[in-house]
Every structure is written in structure tokens, then in C-alpha cells.
Chains A and B, each alone.
Chain A
Amino acid sequence: MHTQVLIIGGGATGTGLARDLALRGVECILAEKQDINAGASGGNHGLLHSGARYVATDPASACECKLEGRLLKKMAPHCIETTGGLFVAVAGDDENYIADFPGMCTQAHIDVQPVDLHTAPEMEPALSEKLIAAYAVEDATIDPFKLSLDNIAHAQMLGARLLRHTRVTGFQVNDHAIQKVRLRNQVDGKELIIEAKVVVNASGAWAAEVAALAGAEIQMVYSKGSLLVTQERISRQVINRLRPATNGDILVPGGTVSILGTTSERTASPDAIYPEIHEVDHIIEQGAAMLPILARTRYIRAYCGVRPLISQGEVGDDRSVSRGFALIDHSEDAHPIRNLITISGGKLTTFRLMAEKTADRVCRHLGVAASCRTRTEPLPNTVEARWTEPGLAPNMWIRKNDPQDKLLCECEMVPQSVVDAIVSSLRKRGSRPNMRAIGLRSRIGKGPCQGTFCSLRVASYLYDRAVFSDDEGVQELCAFLRERWRGQRPLLWDMPLAQAELMEAMHCGLFGLELEAE
């Protein structure tokens, strides 16, 4: 295959870059070794930062956040809920920090309004009585899956190509330029070669790995962050702990649930990471100080992501490492590679800016004059990406009232028609539908039953629709349930434990999946 630009990595940056380039009329292919947002882009809060969180450590990127946030609210309103946010401190928090906070915000040009301690509980009844300070900020929430899916969908409409489950296995580098890129399809193992004028390494936490394949060197720090999903929505707004950034100090509402996070733990590699039990307990304890109900409420899922932090060799907490992004043009390395660019670090909030800057650099390499259009061109709200929105499926299902359209997932009320839509959109883009892909693009399996019942219903439905054949269903079931399990395991006590027992009783006790699993 030939193309102008090969983008490696289908996270927020990669998909954003694909769209940016496509809008500039640059031909590109995006290769993702798993699926959209498989890495940090899918393993975060879905928080559109006001910037106030970084005023102490990194005023520059704090301001970046503010501007990008405001821009995204205009360009992609359908991915964003403008909840507003609160910074709250409780008895025992660092008095000096609280005192300096407003000042630091004004210096960084971040807008904050002090909220008096009587009105704060009216805004958010779940807040602790030990409240000692509260400030209102411009926080909002963003659906990262919808965002990336819309970005890539738009890019594809404009001619970009997407290769899911396709991993880069090597580069053929002759006289300081990548000639060929070798890739392998993870599903059927087929090898393929891509010749691209410019290769962009947007593989986030795997950037160093990928660069290394081309012989380039990047100093990178892996910082894992774990998050918890509560069963119900606990607050209307985003709630931040008013203290130097640390663990378990942000609660972000997301549709009908809330997301509590996060931790920061060094890991040796970005692979094989899990939300660990001690992290979970730690987050809950910390969060409960702000919102006591967090100690009692039911959690339905835990997940984690790895923050790719380009290290400038500093020491200390990874949070103090710049959250600003790193755009590395390897043509300027000691051992230059003329057509390799690495973009990494940064935040979800600034993904567009990162894409823009990268695209500018790419265009300079290609000698293309076209300028960025993502500042002015609103992101189209594509149909295939909308099913990740909680409550949308039941709404459509009820209003459409088609007697033949049965629910496959009862918890989140996802009907057959949604599965059909996702299957056909996947096929339209030339990729094979599987249960995890469908799960990623809908709410299936994201409710309290965590796949206990919907998994088999979806599998058998896909057999009926001849999407599945032979015995692949069994492996699909195993894979889907294993995927769900990652996020359940750290939360298995009380009710969820009973739920999990029921799940194992059916899928292992009755179906004996453990005996079939590869």
C-alpha cells in the first residue's frame, strides 16, 4: 500500500490527526494495533479541564486547556456536557494552597468564582459537611469514545483509511528515512507493507517502543492512572479536590454514572496493566473525604490508562512532569530519521492542538501549504458513533416502538437495531465486527450485569445474523467476558461479588467456557 502519511495509533491524537490531515487534503492511513481509544484515550476521566488543576505545576498548559476547552465546546458540542465544575477543600487540606489558589488562577488567566459554603451543598448535596472552601470553574465532560469515533469517521469520509487490529512489526530504514513499514493483522495474522512519505508515531504510551523499531530513542515515563465507575450519577458537576494534584481527587459525571479517579503509579511497561485493588481502596478513601457517599455506593467498573510522559529527566511525582505534549521531529535527532515524527504526552483536552501542531509539521515535510481547519470546521456528529451515549438507546428504542426490535442488553437497554447499525458501520469501513468492537461502540455490557446475560444474547444474535460462524462464538464470549472482568475484579465485594458469582455459575458452571478458552 502507498500513502502520503501513515499514522500509528488510534487514540484521540491519532484520530484527530487523521481528520486534520484529511481536512487539509492530505492522504493518510491510520494503523491501530487494537481498536479506537484502546490506550490512555479510553482510560481517562473524560474530563474537559478548565485548567485550574494545573495552575500550580504548569500555568502554560493550564491556559492551553482553557482555550482548547472553549474551542471544543464550539466545535464538538455533541461530545460534550457543559457541567461546570467545583474545586472543594475539606478540613485538613493544605490551607496555604487554598489561599494561593485564586491568585494562581488569575496569573494563569483561568476564571474561578468563589462559592460560599452554604450554596455549595445546595448545588451538590453529596458534598461533605467538612467543606472549608469551594470555587466554581469552567470544567466540562467529554465522551472520549464518541470524540475519537467521530474524528476517524469524518476522516474516513474524507478518504482516510483505518486499519484496526493492525500492529507495526518493523520499519525498513534506508539512509535515515523510513522506506517501508511492516505491519501484521492481529486477527488473521496477515502481513502487509505500507510505503508512506511521512510516518507519524502517535502511539501514546507505546511511542518509545514504536520509535525504537525505527532505531529512534525517546525517554519516556509510564504513569498508570486507575479510575472507578459508580452505578449512579453522584454529582451534577465535576468535583475537584482543592489541593496539590494527587490520588482520588476528581469525580466526573458521565451521563447516568460518575467516574472517580485517579491514581498515579510508575509502571515499567504500558502493557499488561490492571487497576489494582490497593489503588481502588485508596481512591475510595480519598474520594470519600470530599463526598462521603463514595464510601458506600456501588461501583460497577474499574479501569486504568497509562499517561505517556516524555521525561525531561526530572525527578519526583509524575504529576509534576509537564503535562504539555512533546512533538519530536526525529529528523533533528543525533541519528536523524527524516520522515518520522513522534507526538506524545499531553491531555485529552488538548488533543486537537496536538494534532494541529503535528499536522503543521507533517505538511512542512510534504511541502503542503494547506492550513489547519479543525479550529473552524465543526466535528460532524456521525450516526455510528452515537451509541456510546448513556440513555440514548432506550430513548430511541421506546420512541421508535418497533415490536420486532428486541433488547439484547437489558441493563443499558440496547436493542438489536443498535447492534445491526454498529455491525454494518464496521463492515462499511471494511473491518470485521466482533463482540468487543460492538461493546466499545455501544453501552452493551456496561450495566450492572457486566455481560452476564447480554454476552450470550449478543453472541447468539450475531450467529442468527450470520455475522459469526463455526465455533468463533465461544472464543468471542470468552474474550468479551475476560474484557469485562478486567474492570470488575477489583470491585468484587458485596453485591457485585454475588453478581460475579452468578456470572461464573452460568458461563463456567453451565457452559464450561474455562475449558474451551484459549
Chain B
Amino acid sequence: MAIRTYLYFPGCKIPRFLPQYGRSTQAVMAQLGIALDETELNCCGYPVRHESFTAAMTAAARNLAIADAKGLPLMTPCKCCYGNLKHADYWMRLDSGLRRQVNATLAAEGLSWREDTPIHHLLTVLDADVGSRRLQMLISRPLTDLRVAAHYGCHALRPGKITQFDNPLSPTIFERLVAVTGATAVEWPLRLDCCGHPLWEKNNRFSTALMANKIVDARQSGAQVLTTACTYCQLQFDVVQAEQASASVDPLPAVLYTQLLGIAMGLPPEILGLDDNRIQWIPDTP
């Protein structure tokens, strides 16, 4: 099939803190014959939203402007980046004042924001653009009898009217994609709740409490692993959980969806950086 190209937006954390997400994404995309354009982009703006809404929107809009200039749809594996890019897209459309201000700033670099730059999250690309049928064809080692808790991640899901990711109250996209790998997506009440990472190193008591609740719930619902498709969520469930892990409770492995999918596609674990996960998960291989 014809190679589709996306402007790849890894976000700031992947290169240094979660290289395995970058690697596994690259690997899976290669398998699907999808090319990723790696033009240098800047911060999505999400981290600075506490500080200044306008700054956050400007940063995001610059990326959208670059994507527009290159004529490429933008794809990010991070839910927070996705969320903020969507926020920018939304507010720039609605708020002419903001639009004027931001475009004035971008003009200095010969850039300008324009409507309708397609913004995708990794999952929406896989679900909508690639489609489960084609994914199915590439599954060589279905993860049968693996029970997975799919963690949605807030910033892609809500506010639904801005992110347009999936039905914000009862989404199904992640469960569908888990099913593609042959694994079973468990039903768990807290699947749409926050992982707690936004408060990490700000209020660790709450941050870990939120995470702990979800892990108890996931395990109680029979999950063997928890899967994420967001840089921050993964950092929380993998790195933070590993650091917090006490002798009493053994941690619940958190696996990136691209790793899950990669394994199911028969890609070698090294390429997917499975060993880089702090909490080890060894797929039982035939």
C-alpha cells in the first residue's frame, strides 16, 4: 500500500525519559508502512499552561503552523501533547483576539496558524487511519489469554468537545485496539480516571494515592498488565510505581501499547525496548 507520512511529534519527555516509547512507535509504524517526518518541533505548551494560557497556545500553534507549512498531518504518541494541541486548535478557531496575537508572534518566523491542520494521536491513527482489519493482518503472535487494563489518559479524552478523541464518557477505542492484539481488555471502573502524574513532585501523597487506587482496581478486575498510550501516564505507572513499590504489594507491569502491539506483530522485544521498562513484563512466547 502507499506509504502515508505523518509529522511525528514525540514531545519533550520521550527522547530522554522514555526512549522505548519512541523506539517501539518507530518500529510499529515501520511495520505498517507509515513514514514519520522528524522535523524539529517545540514544546506542545501543556507544561506552561499553569503559567500562561497564551504562552501555551502560542507554543502549540507554532507546531501546528509548521505542520501546515509542510502539509503533513501531525501525530503524537503523548496524550498531553495531543490534548494541548487540540486546545490550541479549538481556541485559535474560536478566539479571534488570541489568533491575532499568536499569528503576530509566529509571523516573525514566517509562520502562521491555519485551520484544519489534522491532529492525531497514535491510537486514532491506528484505529481510524490504519484500521483494525489491516492491523489484524499483521498480528503473527496474538497475545491470547493476556488480560489487559487499558488506561485512557485524561488529556486526550476530556474535554471531549475540544479533544474529539472518543466518546468522553464511555470510550471504546482503546479496548478495540487491545482486542486487536488478541488480548482481553478487562472492564474496570476507574479506567477513565487520572494516573496522578500531574501532581508528581508537586503533591506526591495524592499523586501516588490516585495511582494506587487505579492499580488496586485494575488488579481486582483481573488485569495482568496495564497498558498506556501516553508518555506521562507511562512514566507514572512504570517509573513512579517502581520507585514507590514496597515489599508488600508487587507492582502491576505497565506496558506501552506500541510494545504490546509490537510483540503481537512478532517484533523482537529488544527493538521495542521492553527491558527499558522499570517493571519487567515478559510476554510468554511460544
Contact flag (A, B; Cβ within 8 A): no
Q: Which residues of A contact B (CB under 8 A)?
A: none
Q: Which residues of B contact A (CB under 8 A)?
A: none
